[in-house]
Chains A and B, each alone.
Chain A
Amino acid sequence: MTQLTTTDEPTTQVFPARVWWQTFQMEFRKYFSTRTWWMLLLVTFVWTGLNVATMVFAVHFGGAEMRAEPDMFVPIGDALARLLYSMGTTFGFVFPAIVGAMSVAGEYRHQTLTPTFLADPVRWRVLAAKFVSVVPLGALYALVVIAGCLVFGALPLAMLGDATALGSAQTWQMFARMVLAMVLWGLVGVGLGTLVNNQMVAVVSLLAITMFLEPTLRSIPMLIGHDVAILSYLPGALGDGITGETMYSMFTNNTLLSPAPAALGLLAYAVVLTVGGYYLRFRRDVS
């Protein structure tokens, strides 16, 4: 009895660069042939921009009052401007993650895995191409977030006469780390979509974990009065660690990992989710 393998060990044709390039191109074309990408990009710009602008005004007019609170750590000058810009990823990280999740879950939703696997029947190559194709897309979303920070953050700061920190190399280094964080969130999204398959469930669970569960857990150090090391390894904390600062640092004082290990940690989440999803879901029969 012979087994017709659908997804087992690589065959000889897996290796030609040409086939990899074709599959990558197919995945890349998928993003830009529907309207989702630019609609989400627009939402990213407006949503992160408005949040940054709101905080700019809140801190400008209420900063003195906030600083009077014993539990608040509101910096001043360039550090404050950077903290405000970092909100771009605090509010924007979810968008590349949604795009990443949709790149897999959307195929289940519209049953487009059939034509995809007919074009390239080597499934792990298809998944790897999805993983890689999210990288430039995550970077694109990050650039739009940074544009939002400049338009809705730096511009009002300048108009209010506050420091914009745009002359500081530290600020631009942070922008670069924001790009890295957004790209990695896109990869985490691919992993979630591969494991969960339902794009709504994937996005809702991402939001529930990063915006409800994590903030709750990360407020523990404040309550008990000392750091809890393991909390630095939660995905949101890793994302914040990459950017280097975050609004959460105004309220909590749990230590963040430094950017490089934080980036590796978030990448590990993405890889574990994607590989797990591959073995548990992606190799299954397609109907």
Chain B
Amino acid sequence: MSARTTAQSRERWYRILEGSAPVLGFLFAMLVMLVVVELIGESPSRAISAIVRFSFSQAGIAYIFSQAMPLIIAGAANAVAFQGGIFNIGVEGQYLFGALCAGVAGAYLSLPTYLHIPVVIIAGMLGGMLWVLLPAFLKVYKGVHEVISTIMMNQVASALVLYLVLGPFNGVRGQSLNLRTPFLKDTAVFPSLHDVINSITRLFGYEFPRYVAVDFSWLISALVIIGTWYLLTRTALGLKIRWVGQNPHAATYAGVDVRKTIFTTMMISGAIAGLVGLQSVAYISKYFTPNIARGLGFTGLAIALLARNNPIGVVFAGLLFSFLNRAGYGLQLYTRVPNSLIGAISGLMILSVVVIDQLLRRYVRNLRRKEVGQNV
């Protein structure tokens, strides 16, 4: 019994060691950033104080959390796909099209609130799924690599939403340069969650200001994270997804229908991706516009990578990226350091996380084998 518990505690220590790559990578990247700041001729301490001042003010913290929500959803969409061995570069196009669908459902349908909001959410998910359907079919039946097909679908999405918003779903009819769909009906607009959230955070002496989006999409993000975590770690489907992702040969041997599983994985990823744009459409602007924030899908790839495809990790990685965004603006505003440095540092961070991760894994593997006392 005691032998087993020490084995288990050692195993836990190994897991912690294996999991510490993101932290080490972050620290390394920050260190490099300070060196670069020094080289630019700005004082590192000023840079740090600029970041801290701008990011950890009341507004700063609120924005970091609020703007992390779409990032977290995008990260989860990518993480699920990665777990199933799928490289879903198309989250970008999927959320664009999903956001359009949500915007259209919110603007054109007339429903009571308790139906309208779920319908908007489902429309977003269906839009995302529709946009991954073709790549999924091509992958499963023709062996077309999803990276190629989803990238192409991203382009198609950009063009199509532009056409649709200029044409059938135009909400401005030439009266404004701001191309958009009609405003959402009041019944479709996400409720604010300020009161709920603040009643909790007030205990810690903090309140989210009204001008920052604290809305229904927070709940959606939470559900997405809990849902993907549960799916991947607790369900038979999740196990199949991970098996196919790790080793399709062994999955076939075990009797898993690999093609069906890949198809399912892509659909789930697309459905989650379809939720990314909802905060913008259903709360902030209350319409869909082709000028909606782009690139969240790609940031989602980085987030999933940083989180090593762990849904819980995605929350932290999403917050981190949101913080980095904010930090970039802080640097730009208060120092002579350009905002783009943060982009480079994010890249460096991902790179060093990947490298450190591999090094740690090898180290732990050797430790394990030595422990077993076998031919290493």
Do A and B associate with each other? no
